[in-house]
Chains A and B, each alone.
Chain A
Amino acid sequence: MSGSSAPFLVESHHPATFRSRGVAAPFTTPMLVGTRIRESKTGIELVVPNPSGGRGVYILDWGGVRTLGNPNVHDTVLFRRVSSIGRLDPAGMRDAALDVALDGHAGRDAAAAAKRGIAGDAAFRLNAHFRLMLGLIEQVHPAGMKAIPPAALGEEVERRGTAILHKLAPLVGQSPADLADALAALGNVFAPVGIGADDKDARTACLLRRLEEAQGSLSDWLSADAENDIGGIGRAIAGAMQTADGYGRAILQATRAVAADAIGLLKRWFKDTEAAVTTASRADWVLDGWEWVCLLWLAAQTGAARRRALLEMAQLIPVLPGEAANWTDLPPPPETLRQPCRVTSREDGWRSGGAAFALIERNESLRAMSI
């Protein structure tokens, strides 16, 4: 863990798949913001934006990262936690990050936010499970639940759902208990996207609203005064946000359409669990890394802070991998397959030395604002 290795710079970073793009790690060390972690043949490796702002990314192991950015305790603990999880995806990263924040390594506000986040995730999982069960009942008895008074709905869903699982079991070739477990597991993996078109509270829907809010606010600010933009960076970011929003919504809709067929979903689960999990996690992958970009913008309140935020955001715009074309009917515009803009730093003074302390505090406050 402590040994350092020579970093190597990849001059062009056009990841073909979301997994090769890596999962955004919410590191708070200023030099490591924007870092992604991905699985490699030898374990896991880190994809760090070129610190100079120039083209390419650095591919490093943790030793290399320690040489490059002197990671703080929060980031070290998060890396250790992520290294030990079996599956590296946005959901796994989120769980690890919430645990680390809950322990207080990102400060007290982030710990309180993590507590709320963990409770919220549990509630979303329950809600998704309940909605899946409800969907299952409505598929079998289309008008069956309409006459049930709201107060009795929970109990009735449980009773009828159990009966339906018993009926379905021989048709699917599984035991009722296995079906019930599968439904709960599906509830867990589909919780972030939510079940049903009206699930506005699901995390992905909230994140898309945040993206839309940030994009709208940025566009309004740019329109208010032409001098607000810095060499077209703002427009490029707003455009990338709009594209990500469109992709996110398309993926959300597609994923929810899959989840609307509860029986079909159960069958898919038993036929190819991996594929079902991948389907459920697509929205997470597409939007991975965008929340930090949005928070940078939304946390900046003055014109000076916003111009500064633009320079930071420009380095962090997630590149859309070519794989995105297989996930929706929307062909990814060519400009989304590469970094839309770059800010080449003269020096690192803005995020190292004395400036780093305020930036860590700011980054921790962004963690506390995270959904």
Chain B
Amino acid sequence: MAGGPAPLNARDIRAVSRDVAGADDARVMRIVATVDAMSARGSADELIVPLRRRLAVLRPPRPLRFVRLMFHPLDPLIIPAGRWRPDQHAIPRTALAPLADCVRVAMAPRARVIEAAISGRTAADADMIAAQGRLLWPDAGKVLMSAIPPATWRETGLGDAIFAPLARRTGALLAQMAAFDRFCAETVQGLLPPRADALHAILRGIAGADESALPMMVKLLLTRLPEAAALLMAAQPGPQGSALKAAADETVDKLLEQLVRKEGAAARIASTSLEEAGTTVRRIATLLRQLEDGSVKPARRAHLKAVRQTLDAGFRTRFAAGLRDEVLALLLAGGNPDVQVIEAAARDLRALETEARAVGGGSAYDLMLRQTADAVKALPAETGPGRTDRIRLVEILAGSDAALAMLDER
């Protein structure tokens, strides 16, 4: 280490973080690439914290490292260490590297084989994650169930007493992640019905290993495959049925609260791409539909109604902003706009809006779409997109009848 750069202290990090937060997109991408290239990221990881929202939009290719592969299926549970509390059903981000260290050391040669396989790949390589993850996760789960704190645990500042329960919960979850990944894959992105027996086996596995991990599993399930929510909420067979039901109820309530928090769903879709926002809205709409399915307690029904109202406002705001900034602004800027970019944005907006209607606000969307379609029709003939492009845009925004009328109006 002699002659190398001095490690950054907390004050340096805070100062640099402030600069980083205001960096332009190109600089953000360079910073992320630099931090990702470090073999030991340590406190440099904190540089990325203020960028996470922007990274959700920019989506830089993140290298697929051992730790990222190991925690990939648990991503919805990972939160900044500063917000983490021991009774929370979550994993503090600072714990990831030490937990991965335990697994890497215990699995030694097999870990090296996995690291070699993922070398040079990125976190966007879903097939590689599934293939290598299914090899890693069950073994990682076993290791963590009885792991002792590695030397690097001290750097987390979480305290020794935290390690064992956190490692056990994480291990209980990871042990089921290969089965969970297969369970999700079998539904072909929600097209086929989820298998009750497979879900129950996963939940029994978690409950048998560490019952306190059940709420985290429920959160993973509801986040990744909301289509399975009704299945989850239905009566569970076996002796652990009541524990599962309690965990499901508790997690659903917390999830609904999280959705409507200041930093909840509305904030999330406001800071992601339109495509991602549409996916998020679809998942939430599916979740709400599933939770309202069948017999629901009056309190839960009232809660769901309130959640819908709050979400509706957030979804409409995102839709209006997208329509204004990513469609109208480009069309009205004059010159020769990139029609394919505008079409893609309009499609993403329609996908978002169609899903969001399930939550509420139908007439507001109709009005905004009609106004935008009218603006497209009113564009000066001599500038901007050609006639067919305009017809296509009107079709995306206002439907095929409006577009056909435009086509036939000569």
Contacts and interface: CB of A to CB of B under 8 A. Distances in A.
A311 B407 contact: no
16 contacts: A70-B399, A72-B395, A73-B391, A73-B404, A103-B388, A104-B386, A104-B392, A230-B186, A304-B126, A304-B188, A346-B193, A354-B278, A354-B282, A354-B352, A354-B355, A361-B347
A353 B358 CA distance: 11
Contacts of A308: 188-189, 191
A118 interface: no
B400 interface: yes
Interface in A321-348: 346
B340 A107 contact: yes
A317 B352 CA distance: 32
Interface in B324-348: 339-340, 343-344, 347-348
A150 B182 CA distance: 61
Interface of A: 70-73, 76-77, 103-105, 107-109, 227, 230, 302-304, 307-308, 311, 346, 350, 353-355, 357-358, 360-361
A311 B350 contact: no
A357 B188 contact: no
Interface in B163-216: 182, 185-186, 188-193
B350 A357 contact: yes
Interface string B367-409: 0000000000000000000101101100110011001100100
A257 B157 CA distance: 81
Contact of A303 (B126, B347, B352): B126
A77 B352 CA distance: 28
B223 interface: no
B178 to A, nearest CB: 11
B392 A303 contact: no
A69 B147 CA distance: 57
B29 interface: no
B400 A73 contact: yes
B127 interface: yes
Contacts of B347: 357-358, 360-361
A230 B188 contact: yes
Interface in B214-249: none
B1 to A, nearest CB: 41
Contact of B126 (A71, A302, A360): A302
B192 A353 contact: no
Q: State the main secondary structure of chain A at its contact with B.
A: helix
A73 B278 CA distance: 24
A353 B354 contact: yes
Contacts of A358: 347, 351
Contacts of A107: 340, 343, 392
Interface in B102-154: 126-127, 130
Given A104-B388, A107-B392, A302-B127, A76 B404 contact: yes
A70 B350 contact: no
Contacts of B399: 70
Nearest to A352: B354
A254 B383 CA distance: 54
A308 B391 CA distance: 31
Nearest to B340: A108
A73 B351 contact: no
Nearest to B387: A104
A227 to B, nearest CB: 7
Contact of A76 (B130, B186, B190, B400): B400
A308 B189 CA distance: 8
Given A307-B188, A354-B354, 11 more contacts: A73-B395, A76-B400, A105-B392, A303-B130, A304-B189, A308-B189, A311-B192, A346-B193, A354-B282, A354-B350, A355-B351
Given A73-B400, A304-B185, A361-B344, A353 B355 contact: yes
Nearest to B388: A104
B400 A70 contact: yes
A122 to B, nearest CB: 23
Given A105-B392, A107-B343, A354-B350, A307 B185 contact: yes
Given A107-B340, A304-B188, A354-B278, A73 B392 contact: yes
Contacts of A77: 407
Contacts of B126: 302-304
A357 B189 contact: no
A357 B351 CA distance: 6
B395 A354 contact: no
B186 to A, nearest CB: 8
Contacts of B388: 103-105
Nearest to B407: A73
Contact of B188 (A72, A108, A311, A353): A311
A71 B400 contact: yes
A307 B404 CA distance: 35
A310 to B, nearest CB: 8
A103 B407 CA distance: 12
Nearest to A225: B131
Nearest to B124: A302
Contacts of A72: 395, 400, 403
B389 A104 contact: yes
B171 to A, nearest CB: 24
Contacts of A354: 278, 282, 350-355
A361 to B, nearest CB: 6
Nearest to B354: A354
Contacts of A105: 388, 391-392
A353 B127 CA distance: 28
Interface in B281-327: 282
B65 to A, nearest CB: 20
